[in-house]
Structure 1
Amino acid sequence: MSFPAACCNTPPVKANYTAKGQKSTVGNIQCYFTGPADSHRAIMVNYDVFGYHANVMQLCDILGDLGYRVVLPDLLHGNPLTENDLGTPGVFAEFKDTRGSWQTTKPMYQTVIGYLKDNSASSIGLLGFCWGSHLVVSALTELDGLRGGAIVHPALIADGDLGKVNAPLLAIPSKDEPDFQDDFDSLKQKSFFSKCHMVRFDDMFHGFCGARGDWSNEVQAKRANDAIALIVKFFASVM
């Protein structure tokens, strides 16, 4: 799949959207699947702390329409965080150290990736939003055989984390994220650095491309489409 064709054929996001994929269970994990089941290219998507959301599922469907087998596992088992949770002191801190930690979610990553490999996928990439970006970076650091990962308005990224990944990385921070430039530049020593990219969306807020995005807003929808175009181009280059 060449990027120009993929980019031109990528539909714009819609404000009101009904997902067109299907849900099924992998191990004890409910997953949303979209795209051709026999595709050799697969993308595992990690939602943000708000769980299944129409915006993220729409993005999954866009990638599925481009020929990828896309899986969105419900890593929070139907119990995502809410806006009220985030406003309650201590709730998020406990979340990130317990059920939202890499230690807890790593076995689920391994289960889903193993399932994809057992079902035609020979090329696997990762996509994560917010908290999910932390898990994607952890997976690219510790798990073998991944072709690359894209992280969108990433959260919980510590100094030095990006430099540890072992596969190409696309980073799309918003105005609300720290300056990752030094950490990103440390990737220059990696053999795959030519496929790594970071594009800041300093006119957008944390969550614009995920559950906090209002895609009935023309500006937000346009910038979400710009981010998706970058994601499409990235995966076309590494898979």
Structure 2
Amino acid sequence: MTTKACCDAGLPAKSTGEPIGKVFDLASSPAGKPLPCYEVGSGDRAVIVAYDIFGFTENKRTRLVCDQIAAAGMRVIMPDFYRGTDVLAHFKTFPPEGGIPAVIDWVTGVAPFDTVIEELFEVVVKYLESTGVRSIGMIGFCWGGKVVMLASKRGKIKGGVSCHPAFLEPEDGANADCPQFFMPAGDDPPIDPVFNAMKSKPFFDKCKKKVYSDQPHGWVLRSDMSDPTAKAARDANDAVELAIEFLDSVIM
């Protein structure tokens, strides 16, 4: 499930507010160079955030969402698997001339999924566990939704949220070993094939989906949040609040 909706949605709106977390490096043996991370909050329950194609620095709202999750009582960490670059920094314009094929080629080159998952468990999860975390969940956006699903078959993740996910296939649902909450946009590919692939799972009764049919792909992180009464902002906040509620229920 790849989609040109990722490009059609355009650039993220400029965000107001200042993130309150810290940026630091974790040593990373799989990639051979440090892994920058944004971390905020405290406690023995953690949420790993997998960002969208705009990466670690281009869209400040991504960090503000991390702060919002942390304010609900969970420790949050967002690794920079792109290591300082993002789709806009690379192409200089968005959508790029080559459209979604160019984006796919770029992201699979800069952050191959197998390397990302290896780093996630060998570096990020080990760091969290070494600093007192006993239970871990995940939330991902766009590209990050695929990261969540790939990580959710390794036995360490207690639950995952995927907002306007990309690159998902039914096998991702079939391979999941923990509850999932999917929040696709109206122009995203249908989520039912992935969701229904989990029906035989013992945790299926905890799985959820909510389609935001009036919103375009990427709206949770790309919407203009300056007017909280606007529908896009209200739906973006609704998605984050539902994600927090779900994660709080599964990261026990």
Q: Tell me the TM-score normalised to structure 2 length.
A: 0.83
Partner of 2:3: none
5+ unaligned residues in a row in structure 2: which ranges?
Answer: 1-13, 28-33
Cα shift at 1:216: 2.1
1:165 equivalenced with 2:176 (yes/no): yes
In 1, Cα distance between the equivalents of 2:39 and 2:247? 18
The code of the aligned residue for 2:143 comes to W
**Residues 11-36 of structure 1, C-alpha deviation per residue, up to 9 Å, x if partnerless?**
xxx95110011111111111111002
In 2, Cα distance between the equivalents of 1:16 and 1:148? 30
Aligned-residue Cα RMSD (Å) equals: 1.6
The code of the aligned residue for 1:47 comes to Y
In 2, Cα distance between the equivalents of 1:47 and 1:203? 22
In 2, Cα distance between the equivalents of 1:76 and 1:182? 29
The code of the aligned residue for 2:110 comes to R
Cα shift at 1:230: 1.0
Q: Alpha carbons of 1:171 and 1:129: their partners in 2 closer, same or farther (altered >3 Å)?
A: same
Partner of 1:19: 19
Out of 32, 39, 44, the position equivalent to 2:38 is 32
In 2, Cα distance between the equivalents of 1:175 and 1:108? 32
Cα shift at 1:41: 0.2
The code of the aligned residue for 2:225 comes to W
1:79 equivalenced with 2:89 (yes/no): no
- 1:187 aligned counterpart, secondary structure: coil
In 1, Cα distance between the equivalents of 2:110 and 2:119? 11
- 1:108 aligned counterpart, secondary structure: helix
The code of the aligned residue for 1:195 comes to K
**Residues 159-189 of structure 1, C-alpha deviation per residue, up to 9 Å, x if partnerless?**
3322221111010000111112133122121
Cα shift at 1:120: 0.7
Q: Tell me the TM-score normalised to structure 1 length.
A: 0.88
**Residues 107-158 of structure 1, C-alpha deviation per residue, up to 9 Å, x if partnerless?**
22111011101111110001100011111111112x2221011000001112
Partner of 2:104: 93
- 2:148 aligned counterpart, secondary structure: helix
In 2, Cα distance between the equivalents of 1:46 and 1:159? 20
Of residues 174-183 and 42-51 in structure 1, the stretch that sits farther from structure 2 once superposed is: 174-183
Partner of 1:9: none
5+ unaligned residues in a row in structure 1: which ranges?
Answer: 1-13
Of residues 90-99 and 44-53 in structure 1, the stretch that sits farther from structure 2 once superposed is: 90-99
Of residues 14-23 and 201-210 in structure 1, the stretch that sits farther from structure 2 once superposed is: 14-23
1:49 equivalenced with 2:58 (yes/no): no
Partner of 2:210: 199
In 2, Cα distance between the equivalents of 1:120 and 1:205? 38
> Contact between 2:53 and 2:143, CA under 8 Å: does it hold in 1?
yes
* Total equivalences in the alignment: 222
Out of 198, 201, 220, the position equivalent to 2:232 is 220
Q: Alpha carbons of 1:169 and 1:120: their partners in 2 closer, same or farther (altered >3 Å)?
A: same
Out of 180, 194, 197, the position equivalent to 2:191 is 180
Partner of 1:236: 248
Structure 1 runs (4+) deviating above 4 angstroms are: none
The code of the aligned residue for 2:84 comes to G
- 2:87 aligned counterpart, secondary structure: coil
1:124 equivalenced with 2:128 (yes/no): no
**Residues 172-208 of structure 1, C-alpha deviation per residue, up to 9 Å, x if partnerless?**
0001111121331221211111111010000111111
Partner of 1:115: 127
In 2, Cα distance between the equivalents of 1:178 and 1:91? 19
